[in-house]
Structure 1
Amino acid sequence: MSDRTLRLALHQLNPTVGDLEGNERKVRDGIAAACAAGAQLSLFAELVITGYPPEDLLLKEHFLRDARAAIDRLAAESGEHVAVVGFPERAEDVFNAAAVLSRGRLQAIYRKVLLPNYGVFDEQRYFQIGPGGGVVDVGDLRVGITICEDIWEPGPPATDEAVAGASLILNLSASPYHAGKGVERERMIAQRARDSLAAYAFCAQVGGQDELVFDGHSFVCDHTGEIVARAAQFAEEMLVVDVDLGAGAKARLRDTSHRPTVRRTAPQVVTLARLEPAPPATGAAPERRVAPLLQPIEAEVYAALVLGLRDYVEKNGFRHVVLGLSGGIDSALVAAIAVDALGAGRVTAVVMPSPYSSSGTQDDARDLARELGIECHEFSIAPAMESYTEMLAATFQGREPDITEENLQARIRGNLLMALSNKFGWLVLTTGNKSEMSVGYSTLYGDLAGGFAVIKDCPKTLVYRLSEHRGLPRSIIDRPPSAELRPDQRDEDSLPPYELLDRILEGYVEQDLGTEDLVGQGLPEADVERVIRLVDLAEYKRRQAPPGIKITTRAFGRDRRMPITNGYRG
């Protein structure tokens, strides 16, 4: 290694929010592994000690004290290695911070400058902003520190650090996933690197946390924006890479266009610490690791769903899951995801035919359970339907059957699944998709009853693509969708075709477009008005639905927050 090269270890860990002891252990083990690999500096994710997002745990003084105690213990064990570790700092206020640990001490603390307060983020509720950029001198090498949002906006603090001489910008991140976000990050950070003629090291959290999934996808790019190392998506990994910090300095010498900026700019940067570097690593450089990206996008989304479900089950202490298997495409996809996440031995399916259930769907449900290798119970709901009909006959006398009787069937099924959950401690998975959730095509205390909604943020058209990707049986994919709650029922009796419905929902839910905008795109006015009305009226249902995995830019609850009592339409 040259004296301008730094061997860097990016620790892409899967912390559990609130498990301070377990997260501290992961960091300690990571530092030991990095030292064994000859790394001189370890970079961990944003708030790795607490997990992200810790939400209102940050309002507890004792929680913040315990997080700081973990940092102090890690500092005492740091040796010659330099470790940059995310944690919440309790000082005159609370800061989203990065601790610099080396030679048995907490050497410095960097405080996040840009606090996001949009989408899923609520950081201004918890944190005070930091004063500005900060650099650490490791021998003759100057390194800048940033935390997540600090580099999403162009300009300071990262540009200030580069102007102040940093040839490597570290970024501790906990950046929640949505479809395609990893590539967006790479392009954005590569542009930041080219603009500042500095290498960037992006270290991200991985794993599921309630509705959020973190995809990892940590990487290092050089001063030209070229990706020189990339960790896997959706998996824990330590990525070790030799970063040439001299290359950026040479490029700045040749590119004189930056000199006027340096002369006229007084960057708000402090030198946080001056550290003696660990001895240069000996032996061959680590093998260049640029993990391939998951393609097509369906493969990426499917991996996110598998990880999100696995971590929700594991981190919340469930051993087993159960779901209703109807023979339709939604429940078939959820069953496949559950098997891929947990293994067939931890998944139970329940087939619950009614007098309106077709033999084709029921046969498909049984065949799929056998193909997936999962336990399958079968309960006919006809006796319960008859009992309800008898109990309600006098009260309903003179009224024709309608959606009330249809919803009773869904609620009987929900009761059966919840009975199994109560008896055996199983987590009930619901199977509704985003298109249905959007327009309220679901039954409270029926198909909405459960603990986790795996595909609640997947539009129906995406469900079809995911099912094709997973290789589900053609008979399930090709069958016209139906709730089978009355004779010859089809979803399109109540809704526009899903291709049209999802186009309208994309505009109204994801892009906040109004009726006039959508009709201007050539969408049928009557369908647009009907769908918007259904979306607005269904807000009260969505508030009572179980949490589920976010994979779009506007997930209900986390991103899109609308009042239930709302007199505005369109």
Structure 2
Amino acid sequence: MQHTPIKIALAQINCVVGDLAGNVVKIVEQARNAYLQGAKLLITPELSITGYPPEDLLFRDAFIKANDKALQQLCKELAEFTDLHVIVGHPHRGETPESKHLLFNQASVLKNGAVVASYQKQMLPNNEVFDEVRYFAAGNEACVFEIEGLKVGVLICEDVWHAGPAQKAKVAGAQILVIPNASPFHMDKLSLRSEVTRQQVLATGLPAVYVNLVGGQDELVFDGASFVLNRDGQTVYNAPQFKEDLGIIQVINGEPQKLPLLKPYSELQQVYEALVLGVKDYLGKNGFPGAIIGLSGGVDSALVLAIAVDALGADKVRAVMMPSKYTAEISWVDAKEMADKLAVQYDEISILPMMESYDAALKDEFTGLPLDATEENIQARIRGTLLMALSNKSGRIVLTTGNKSEMAVGYCTLYGDMAGGFAVIKDVSKTLVYQLCHYRNSVSQVIPERIITRPPSAELRPDQKDQDSLPSYDILDGIVQHYMENDIPIESLPALGYKREDVELVTRLIKINEYKRRQSPIGVRITRRAFGRDWRYPITSKFRA
């Protein structure tokens, strides 16, 4: 049993997929800081060398070879930190004749310039946004190594959600579990992670050190929130959410010592911070110099503008108001007021001349035909074309403003309001949009109250209201959540209080608008099921429940 107190460092870092050299530099910096504070063990997140998830890069031999070189370089650079154990994550080719064609999700323990122990992930997630079975083979052996009498067992992410790996580590002599993770955020995920890990702690009697990745990666956001549980399942340390952090805990006789705990974010604050980080990292990691937003005077574009400014700074955000003959004066006034409050560049481009040109060009084709969604969509496409033109000239990316409710039922226009590079709130229901606006205003009043309180409208025809075409948003969002996110059968929804005709309408619209969603830009995932990598339905399908 260990008697000498040992310091363990939790490196909650923002790794960039494919930036192997940059990730190595970041790991070395964390190791130096941990070493100077007297740590004997530094834990980095899952696949910290390559970033997570590397997806089909894992099929490229050049990528695997570059990973191997990065691991060698890391060993060399960490050698100066004498007796510091550093756990790093990386893909690894099998070394036996039977496994040399297999790839493993591996955590390696580096010390004094060499790999002294290694662990291969046993449980490969193949649900929601995960498809690790596509890339990796499963390991089946425990890994336990010793630091000054303390026997440390290693698991990786999904392993802690199953009893087997933790039990194997205990049988192999582990006195504490360390768990590198790349666990993406969704609402309720933080409490779920903690509870799942707590159950393994209580089942094995082993404390757990859980180290999570932080940062945005395409539609995924990793929220950090690393934590440590003692052998009684009590939280004795928690790292901040949505920020890089190096935490140091002390372990005495196998038991982590308690530190002051951070107050957890509210659910609305978590969602808002996830959206901010998702925008910040998508633009930052992909080299976009800024963002352009079509500001309408409505609640969706108002929320997106607030998020963009919080993520990027006002100097990198441009708002463009594009009024038509249907734009209400209050929309104009409110949009300008919000842009002024946030101190962003604000411009107005009337689409009326272009509408008149389209009307003239199509006059003969449309003679005798009634006005319908065609004319409405033309307006949206004019606006989309203008925004994309400004994007092309400036290099700034267009942030679209459609929400999940609209994306679900197709209340959006291809090549119109769907035109852009990143869909910030595509996984945020309309009812949640309002809640987030109230939350943001509770921090500082930036969204004019009238934007939040007036009835939502696309303003593409006289006196238009969203509810002219759709059920009320509380009903619509409830059906989407139950059916789309939670997989409740259609036939069970009326028993939950929804009218059968509303259920039929919403679920039919979800089905027939898959072709639109497939062409939409990616956006931040904040629910347990978003339209994106964890929603894979065929466009062409005759099945109807």
Q: TM-score, normalised to structure 2's length? A: 0.96
Distance across 1 between alignment mates of 2:62 and 2:533: 27
Deviation at 1:104, TM superposition (A): 1.9
- CA deviations over 1:472-515 (Å, ceiling 9, x no partner): 22101001000000000000000000001111111110122232
Which among 405, 426, 431 is matched to residue 401 of structure 2?
A: 431
Distance across 2 between alignment mates of 1:226 and 1:361: 51
Which among 119, 136, 158 is matched to residue 128 of structure 2?
A: 119
- CA deviations over 1:52-78 (Å, ceiling 9, x no partner): 000011011121111111112222333
Which among 405, 408, 412 is matched to residue 442 of structure 1?
A: 412
For 2:218, the equivalent position in structure 1 comes to 210
Which among 82, 88, 102 is matched to residue 85 of structure 2?
A: 82
Deviation at 1:191, TM superposition (A): 2.0
1:132 aligns with 2:141: yes
| Alpha-carbon contact 2:187-2:526 (below 8 Å) kept | yes
For 1:366, the equivalent position in structure 2 comes to 336
1:561 aligns with 2:536: yes
Aligned AA (1:551): I
Deviation at 1:4, TM superposition (A): 4.7
Deviation at 1:132, TM superposition (A): 2.3
SS at match of 1:232: coil
| Alpha-carbon contact 1:72-1:106 (below 8 Å) kept | no
Distance across 1 between alignment mates of 2:473 and 2:47: 41
For 1:265, the equivalent position in structure 2 comes to none
SS at match of 1:187: helix
Distance across 1 between alignment mates of 2:494 and 2:227: 43
SS at match of 1:229: strand
- CA deviations over 1:326-347 (Å, ceiling 9, x no partner): 0000000000000000000000
Aligned AA (1:481): P
Deviation at 1:455, TM superposition (A): 0.3
For 2:484, the equivalent position in structure 1 comes to 509
| Alpha-carbon contact 2:13-2:245 (below 8 Å) kept | yes
Distance across 2 between alignment mates of 1:40 and 1:459: 46
- CA deviations over 1:521-570 (Å, ceiling 9, x no partner): 12101111011110100000000000000000111121111100111123
RMSD: 1.2
Deviation at 1:520, TM superposition (A): 1.7
Deviation at 1:289, TM superposition (A): 4.6
For 2:29, the equivalent position in structure 1 comes to 29
1:377 aligns with 2:347: yes
SS at match of 1:38: coil
Deviation at 1:6, TM superposition (A): 2.2
Distance across 2 between alignment mates of 1:60 and 1:108: 26
Deviation at 1:228, TM superposition (A): 1.0
1:479 aligns with 2:479: no
Aligned AA (2:259): R
Which among 263, 277, 282 is matched to residue 292 of structure 1?
A: 263
Distance across 2 between alignment mates of 1:557 and 1:227: 34
Distance across 2 between alignment mates of 1:247 and 1:33: 23
- CA deviations over 1:12-67 (Å, ceiling 9, x no partner): 00011000000010001111110011100000000010000000110111211111
Q: How many residues are aligned here?
A: 530
For 1:190, the equivalent position in structure 2 comes to 198
Distance across 1 between alignment mates of 2:296 and 2:432: 19
Identify unmatched segments of 5+ residues in structure 2.
95-99, 442-446
SS at match of 2:268: helix
Q: TM-score, normalised to structure 1's length? A: 0.91
Deviation at 1:302, TM superposition (A): 0.2
Deviation at 1:244, TM superposition (A): 2.8
SS at match of 1:335: helix
For 1:519, the equivalent position in structure 2 comes to 494
Which among 319, 325, 337 is matched to residue 295 of structure 2?
A: 325
For 2:60, the equivalent position in structure 1 comes to 60
Aligned AA (2:248): V
Distance across 1 between alignment mates of 2:14 and 2:260: 20
- CA deviations over 1:236-280 (Å, ceiling 9, x no partner): 0001000234449xxxxxxxxxxxxxxxxxxxxxxxxxxxxxxxx
Deviation at 1:182, TM superposition (A): 1.0
SS at match of 2:281: helix
| Alpha-carbon contact 1:353-1:381 (below 8 Å) kept | yes
Matches within 5 A, 1:142-161: 142-153=151-162, 155-161=163-169
Distance across 2 between alignment mates of 1:187 and 1:512: 23
Distance across 1 between alignment mates of 2:507 and 2:253: 54
SS at match of 1:450: coil
| Alpha-carbon contact 2:41-2:84 (below 8 Å) kept | yes
- CA deviations over 1:379-438 (Å, ceiling 9, x no partner): 010000000000000111110111000000000000000000001111000000000000
Distance across 1 between alignment mates of 2:117 and 2:531: 40
Which among 309, 316, 321 is matched to residue 279 of structure 2?
A: 309
SS at match of 1:156: helix
| Alpha-carbon contact 2:337-2:448 (below 8 Å) kept | no
Identity of aligned residues (%): 49
| Alpha-carbon contact 1:349-1:369 (below 8 Å) kept | yes
For 2:425, the equivalent position in structure 1 comes to 455
Distance across 2 between alignment mates of 1:246 and 1:304: 35
Matches within 5 A, 1:206-285: 206-247=214-255
